[in-house]
Amino acid sequence: MFTLASTRCDNAAWDSVAFETQAVANTTITRRRNVLALFQAYAEKTLASGAAPKGLEQAYAATLQISPSMWGQIKSARPIGDKLARQIEVLSRKPVGWLDENHHADVLTPGEKAFLDLSLQAWRSADSAGRKVLKQTLRQVASEAPEDLGPSRNALVDGRRPAQS
């Protein structure tokens, strides 16, 4: 028999499931962002010490005691479970629960700081037409999906000069 009370209970149950699903998704996203930030810091420190970029991801996977294949999955889509999260925190010398907290906006990486310094220098040295071009270029780059960026944009991201046609 259908009653209003049972409908309320069912709605409450669905609301609870929706909330838990959202919390899991947020934890998954937060953990992925944080582990990518850890990798970024590792990469910048390793490259600054003069190491070659080749094999960097495999070396990072080894420091986390996971396979390079698993590292690739974590970067793209694989959720980081509680056990793996704690393993990453211990091996990265972070406190328990660190991966579950939002850290991505706390501190600029050296690469981000260098980019902002360069951007500020370009902005200050440009006239109004140059500033307009700078803004348009950044908006265009920010609005494009990574797979749509093409070789010249990817070359710029990698720090190389784009090939001239």
Q: How does residue 23 score in pLDDT terms, banded at 50, 70 and 90?
A: low
- Taking only the tens place, the pLDDT of each residue in 123-139 is 999 999 999 999 999 89
Tell me what percent of the residues of the chain surpass a pLDDT of 90. Answer: 44
Q: Is the pLDDT of residue 76 over 70?
A: yes
Domain boundaries, the chain: 4-100, 110-158
Distance CA 117, CA 128 (A): 19
Distance CA 56, CA 109 (A): 18
pTM over 0.85: no
- pLDDT score recorded for residue 136: 92
Q: Is the pLDDT of residue 86 over 60?
A: yes
| Mean pLDDT, the chain, integer | 78
Decide: 68 and 61 in contact? Cβ < 8 Å: yes
Higher-pLDDT residue of 87, 142: 87
From 4-13, 59-68, 81-90, the region with the lowest mean pLDDT? 4-13
Is residue 163 classed exposed, middle or buried when 0-12, 13-18 and 19+ CB atoms within 10 A define those classes? exposed
